[in-house]
Amino acid sequence: MTDMVVGAARGWLGTPYLHQASCKGAGCDCLGLLRGVWREIYGAEPEMVPPYTRDWAEPRGEERLWAAARRHLTPRPLARPMRGDVILFRMRQGNVAKHLGLQAETGPAPTFIHAYSGHGVVESALTAPWARRVVARFALPERT
């Protein structure tokens, strides 16, 4: 399953960044990447995603992305990264967690795939500055 997740995510590399989009090769944001990978593996998305702003409900402090992840994914220990994990990031202390990626590699040179404003879908090193922002890890459900 992990190879399938990582392979699907790598298929999106080079897709331009486009807020609220989820179309391989045309544009996506970080949630759109996860939505696209989900569709490739499972088919229909588990729920409709309402329109959202770039600030992700920050003014009210709602952890909407984290709550949605808990509804559809299986929580995993932060200290035990696995290929294929969905990673949730809090970009600034005190703000809501609002960035997602998929763990591509673990070990001495860990990487993750994400859609990043100004860069599109890229595979980035999970360096210390990124790693300290990780607040949750999830596994995608097993295919039935």
Q: How confident is the model at residue 92 (pLDDT cuts 50, 70, 90)?
A: confident
Whether residue 102 has pLDDT greater than 90 = yes
This prediction has a pTM of: 0.94
Domain range list for the chain:
2-139
Classify domain 2-139 at the CATH topology level: endopeptidase fold (from Nostoc punctiforme) (3.90.1720)
Do 114 and 121 form a contact (C-beta atoms < 8 A)? yes
Write down the H helix ranges in the chain. Answer: 2-10, 30-42, 64-72, 128-131
Whether residue 94 has pLDDT greater than 80 = yes
Do 112 and 103 form a contact (C-beta atoms < 8 A)? yes
Buried b (16+ CB within 10 A) or exposed e, 114-142: bbbeeebbbbeebeeebeebbebbbbbee
pLDDT digits (tens, 9 = 90+) for 19-61: 999 999 999 999 999 999 999 999 999 998 877 777 655 667 7
**pLDDT value, residue 56:** 57
